[in-house]
Structure 1
């Protein structure tokens, strides 16, 4: 049985590890996996990495980076076994793409300021799309979290000149969508108008320089922390949270907020 030292702490070591796991002397579970079966696990690992980054936990970041990297290596190994592509093809395409999109680093183009980066990047991508029927939005995976996808399509549309002239227009649009939601009558209309409202709120977030997905995730965390604090306080006081009147729950909420602030 190979020891951990049989696999060097490099990408080649990870590749050999994954190849062994999927080999005849490896793990039955790993051998049975497909790109499709691993999708949700890869997504889960990415979210765990994001959480570690937000917690600023270096040890956890290292662990979660390893988990994500293992999943990427698994996808490459499965593709290699099926004869669909190789690791070399993945890396060759990646290197070629990013060298091509950084002519100010690897070519004669000049970039004096970081503010030039995004317009330059967009111009290069538009050049790549010339003669194609693809949209500037087509590179975005539709399976992204909805708030992140909304922000991404808004960013790309704005860089093509399709945007509000000022923040006042953005705020007015949010108010308009809220009115339309209030006026909606059927469940289908309410769902549609709620989507439009959320889209406009994401746009407002973009104008404020905030990331809606991150903002909502942090709000979720604050709610979780405060709610679990309320539950803990009730246990300590031998109270049933569920049976408390609403005004008592609101008092507990304020107490939990005060505890959170320290």
Structure 2
């Protein structure tokens, strides 16, 4: 089955090269040369796109701002995975991109086969459950709907990236157990992250911002110093 990828990138040569490289591997790449064009395509044809490749430096906008706008769109567009591409090697930009909602980050120049591996990793998600038999994990005021891949706090939907949802499920399904970064990465299959960098911590921070009453004093996702994270079994408040 062909999967459709939207690339928002002003380098037409790069886009053409990647389109040719990805095609034999089952990916059809659609190119948008500007942020405006890319966001318009997403809103017009968002459902067919399995993933967005987003350049950090665009002629009409900052890629970080585009990522923010994408995450503010209505469901299901806001949950489309995003892999950010940039010629800037500053680790701050990488962390900031992940904080805003990107699922992965690849600095330029890169090998096309590395991009392919990361795209496959981000897309390697479990299939959606049938609605009739969908399971909902409930922790006090927090509901995690596995079938709809949706999270609600006090009945209000919380926006998460695909990776962040899978990370939350991995924690919730092992509530009460301390999980290291390595165990979390292993639990969320296909995640192309180094367990020794800050990527997992960044996503945990985003999760806390979404589901904690006070992210600075988390009561749902607790840090165990030197060991990892634990998801609280009892969440009455």
Higher fraction of helix:
1
Larger Rg: 1
* Higher share in strand: 2
Higher relative contact order structure (alpha carbons within 8 Å, sequence separation ≥ 6): 2
